[in-house]
Structure 1
Amino acid sequence: MSDLRRVSSNPHVRSRTTTSNIMMWVVIALLPAAGFGIYNFGLDALIILLLSVASCVLSEFIYEKALGKPVTVGDFSAVVTGLLLGMNLPSTVPWWIPVLGGIFAIIMVKQLFGGLGQNFMNPALGGRCFLMISFPAIMTNFVTDTYTGATPLANLKNGVEVNVMDMLIGRTAGTIGETSMLCIAIGAIILFALGIIDYVIPFTYIISFALFVAFFGGYGFNWSYISAQLAGGGLMLGAFFMATDYVTCPITPKGRVIYGLFLGILTGIFRIFGANAEGVSYAIVITNLLVPLIEKFTIPRAFGIKKSAKKEAKKA
């Protein structure tokens, strides 16, 4: 019989894009911000990044080997988690902080829930939040030989004027990968150009946050204040590299918009009304938990099915 009659299971059209390809490009897109962090904070930053990546990769390898599971470190997802976690840490933390954070991110947040594709929140941010709650003094120490003052966001919260141009370039205190908005933007452009991320979530996030700050920040539509809030802290890194995580963001079109709105509002609440100057990590983690609920109410109706018929089917 001719092979032309043989029918295989769907999908019949496959893309050459793989998880490892996507993750590799994400790593490449993160390199400008990571590289500037090393330039900005020195050898300590490089050591933190290497320890973070190594702990994530080894944790995944050892866990999967111990349980007899297929080893998946070749998909680069653990590398992305380690790099993001390291970029969200101050260069002043002791060596065991990125190691502990990497183990928690991979084992507790990712592997115990089934591995890549099953985690309920972004592993890197889960690890960072764990470290923030457990070691707040260590995680908020940004004093280095180069920068001895408070971070720009802390100054903003205290009513102190900040230099927005320094924040755009990255000549400020902060975590290793969040200081240079320019380098983060370069990485985001790479992801946009390759179609790895789209504009809906990050732009909805940024715009809703800007509007929230304008209405509730106490300065109105003061562009200097709004731009400083946008350029400061982990907002840009979170918006382009963590809020867009395929596993933990909605797949429905309306859901992605609602997701971005929640992110912007929560980040604004934490920054304006919270005790700390930052709030991106907690905003993304909390909104990750809301994704199943968001998707439940934003699933598109199947073509040809009326609302009434759908309700009757549910009742039956």
Structure 2
Amino acid sequence: MRFRTHSSPHMIPAHDVGQLMRRVLYALVPGTLAMTWYFGLGVLVNVLLAVGFAVGFEALMLLARRRPVIPVLGDYSAVVTGWLFALALPPLTPWWVTLVGVGFAIVVAKHLYGGLGYNPFNPAMVGYVVVLLSFPRELILWVPPMGFDDLGFSIGEVTAAIFLGQLPRELTWDMITTATPLDHMKTELAQNRTISEIREHPLFGSFSGHGWEWIANWFLLGGLFLLFMRVISWQIPVAVLGSLAVMAGAFWVIDPDAYASPAFHVFSGASILCAFFIATDPVSASTTPRGRLIYGAGIGILLYVIRTWGNYPDAVAFAVLLMNMAAPTIDHYTQPRAFGQNPPPPRRDNGP
């Protein structure tokens, strides 16, 4: 009697890449909707543009590499990259900035290294750094959040600004844009103003920027969903936010009028988005349990250092990319001991 045999793997994994990526997209929805509520429909237009460009570049690169297109597109990794990139952009960013950033993320940072699973750097952050360094003016055009200055742009006005660069009602960019809370805090501190004086500005809310703190809370909810579904592990988010809070808390205790509080740093900018959605990239992040703690702590420390003493008010992309470079070394020195392997016996020196 002949028996049919099958090659490995003999056990089907509980999750495939497509399922994990879809859950990441589900988790991004609450924070994205909150961002749209506070900053307008331009956020959704950016997401749709970035996702469309990402899928298009992914298909072109697969065809150029003679790889199957439909199965690879079905893993949704390009969609996640485009979505994360879009969330880092101001809501009225010109369409060509999105095209350049996404193209660099997919073509250079992903496929020129071999595709998904081979890229040493987070593609979305690589694309963002490219446009941040190349088009700094377009990356600071943040409109004020709802409740601070209600401009109320319609979808037609939003698309005209993004695709044609035309602002409605004879407005100018100086009239409709404002600094982010991190940028405003950094600028005012450089002019020797105290934290208590700076926080009197209506741009600030209870403990962070008006609107920004609620957006961070909704991204936190999505991050907790990823933890509950075991899409990500707890080490990196806890290490990122914990090290950022510890660094901010230490300097805040020393001089609360010169350094912002830990709550301000945790709930401002993209700190929570970084901790749960960006730093936890399974390809470019550390993979060992101890390594994840070191990797996440490094991101949190770099984030605070660059925000406080660097040239950029928010430093998520730079912190993540720097730790991406360190991830292989961290994994090399933090490999767990194999099950059943005893440590080497102590060396005895009996002398001559």
TM range (shorter): 0.7 to 0.9
Aligned to 1:96: 96
* AA partner of residue 338 (structure 2): A
Which residue is equivalent to 2:284? 248
Instruction: Deviation per CA, 1:276-295: give whole Å up to 9, x if none.
Output: 21111110111011111101
Runs of 5+ unmatched residues, structure 2: 151-175, 190-197, 346-352
Relative to structure 1, the CA distance from residue 276 to residue 2 in structure 2 (aligned partners, 3 Å threshold; closer, same or farther) is same
User: Is 1:163 matched up with 2:204?
Assistant: yes
Q: What is the aligned partner in structure 2 of residue 191 from structure 1?
A: 226
Does structure 2 conserve the Cα–Cα contact (< 8 Å) formed by 1:179 and 1:232?
no
Task: For 2:258 and 2:16, locate their aligned partners in 1 and report how far apart those are by CA, in whole Å.
Answer: 44
| Mapping 1:1-316, distance limit 5 Å | 1=1, 3=3, 8-71=6-69, 72-143=72-143, 146=150, 148-157=177-186, 158-159=188-189, 160-161=198-199, 163-165=204-206, 167=208, 171-172=211-212, 180-216=215-251, 219=255, 225-305=261-341, 308=344
Deviations 1:147-193 (A, max 9, x none): 7432111232224216343848x625xxxxx9711210121122112
Q: Secondary structure at the match of 2:206?
A: helix
Q: Is the 8 A contact 1:214 1:222 kept in 2?
A: no
1:38 is matched by which residue type in structure 2? T
Aligned AA (2:227): F
CA distance in 2 between partners of 1:181 and 1:235 (Å): 8
Deviation at 1:305, TM superposition (A): 4.6
2:91 and 2:143 in contact (8 A); partners too? no
State whether residues 235 and 293 of structure 2, in contact with CA within 8 Å, keep that contact through their aligned partners in structure 1. yes
User: What amino acid sits opposite 2:133 in the alignment?
Assistant: I
Answer with 1 or 2: which has the greater Rg: 2
Name the Cα RMSD after superposition.
2.6
Q: In the TM superposition, what is the alpha-carbon distance from 1:7 to its structure 2 partner?
A: 5.5
Cα distance in 2 between the residues matched to 1:305 and 1:192: 31
Conserved? CA contact 2:244–2:262, under 8 Å: no
Q: What is the aligned partner in structure 1 of residue 162 from structure 2?
A: none
SS in 1 for 2:89: coil
TM-score by length of 2: 0.79
1:228 is paired with a residue whose SS is: helix
Shift of 1:251: 1.4
Q: Is the 8 A contact 1:219 1:225 kept in 2?
A: no
CA distance in 2, matches of 1:300, 1:83: 34
User: Could you tell me how far apart the structure 2 residues matched to 1:76 and 1:261 are?
Assistant: 29
More helix by share: 1
Distance in 1 separating the partners of 2:14 and 2:242: 34
TM-superposition CA deviations, 1:119-171 (whole Å, max 9, x none):
11111111101111111121122145647432111232224216343848x62
Give distance in 2, aligned partners of 1:204 and 1:14: 31
CA distance in 2, matches of 1:166, 1:229: 9
- On the 8 A contact 2:31/2:219 being kept in 1, the answer is yes
Describe the superposition over 1:229-266 as per-residue Cα deviations: whole angstroms up to 9, x where unpaired.
Answer: 11101110010001011111111111111111111111
